[in-house]
Amino acid sequence: MIPNTSSPKTQKERGAFSTPDWVVRLMLGFLRPMASPAPRVLEPACGDCTFLRGLREVHPALFAKAEKVGVELHPASPKGEPGGVRVIEHDFLLWEEREAKYDLIMGNPPYGIPSPSKHYAYRVSSATRSEYKKRFRTWFGKYNVYGAFIEKAVRLLKPGGQLLFIVPATFLLLDDFKKLRAFLAEEGQTQLVYMGDGVFRPSASITTVILNFIRGREDAGRLLLQDYDAETGGLKEIRRLAAWHGEIITFTTEFTERLSALCSARLGDVFAVKVSPRTPEIRGNPLIAKEPTPEMLPILNGRNLKRGKILYEPLSGYWIHPRHKNKLRKFFETPHVVVGLGFRGDRELGAAYDALAYPWMGDVYHLLPHHSLWRTTHLEPADVVNYLNSPLVGRYIRDSFREIVYHLNITLLKLIPIPEEALGNVKKFPLPKQEAQFPTKPS
């Protein structure tokens, strides 16, 4: 979505950042031929019609013969619209156009979790948010508004119609978008071009993909994931699926494939992964104290977890009596491996063994053995800790999930390959040099 003012606050509140011209031209290079003599073209959240302007520049003949529509909640623009465009002043998500009749829909939808709360940047009223949730079948969890834009745009496409959006890449991995991924897999074929986190800098550091979607049940479930190489302007294939059903979309490299081949299981095969109580649960619990008695235990959090070590110190400011810790979580009674999931930049995954079985809170996860499988392995807890703290796992995380998310969730953590046998072969596995990252802006 293109803002109508240069105010950073306005951009943030609307989830709106201008699309660079080179990205618009790149996206328009994916256009397929249109059979209709008078194709219908739509730009949702059009702002000053950046994509329609690009269409006029890159495909002037198509622009001239097309019926062109823009929808924008704040249509005032210092540039004005390009000739022949009908701009409708409306919230695209509440716009009552229901008929699937567009040959091409293109743009840069806003992003953000819509909420009346001051804790979220994308501010909408409670009534508007409730209306959004009622209208979209893909709405789930802490849904991001760009997902609703994708769903509505797909529904407005004719069979064979094309959707070209640049959107955050989070829908590839997060559980909040599982319904959206399944919807895309049902409705047509999906091409994703990974652009990295540099497209909108310096205004924002958002990891993005170009979504090129063709509606049509006959080709439903086809998926192509590619990298964009700005140095050559070319595309590098990462993976291709003929029968995608909406599963999370991870990245593969020679390294991830070789490590997976050496490991006979995934973490989720050997362990159940549980999450610690969150702060609101702790804060509102009558068993929790902020002024402890001598027999109480401090509740540990992420600051107590170091790689290979736990600091049994009162850092959270919350305490509980030992006989009550199982009322927070039953597994707090049993020693087990704990994992911290921050890994972006220098923050890699960190694991340690909680031999004293303390209570925890916050972004710390707990690995509880599936005992039928655990008994068949030759692993000890120390092996698991050392392996999860190793450069091998750090590299696997970076290669598979890239910089899309700040923290791994349970679903992603369960995907980490883990050996069921002793770690000898894996420890000898060479860690390759880090490949150069593709730039996201051409020189």
**Which one from 17, 146, 200, 343 is the annotated catalytic residue?**
200
DSSP annotation string for 299-339? PB-GGGEETTEE--S--SS-EE-GGGHHHH-GGGGS-EEEE
Mark whether 111 is an active-site residue. Answer: yes
Torsions phi, psi of 7, nearest 5?
Answer: -65, 120
Nearest to 136 by CA among 155, 108, 159, 111: 155
Mark whether 92 is an active-site residue. Answer: no
DSSP annotation string for 329-380? -GGGGS-EEEEE-B-STT---EEEEETT---B-SSEEEEEE-HHHHTTS---
Residue 442 preceded by cis peptide, ω within 30: no
**Which one from 4, 108, 144, 301 is the annotated catalytic residue?**
108
Mark whether 442 is an active-site residue. Answer: no
Instruction: Look up residue 410 and give its DSSP letter.
Output: H
SS3 9: helix
Question: Would you give the end-to-end CA distance of the chain in angstroms?
Answer: 25
**Which one from 51, 111, 183, 255 is the annotated catalytic residue?**
111
Mark whether 386 is an active-site residue. Answer: no
Q: How far apart are CA 43 and CA 24, in angstroms?
A: 12
**Which one from 3, 44, 82, 109 is the annotated catalytic residue?**
109
Question: Positive or negative CA dihedral for 400, 404, 407, 411?
Answer: negative
Contact indicator for 100, 35 with CB cutoff of 8 Å: no
**What are the residue numbers of the active site?**
108-109, 111, 200
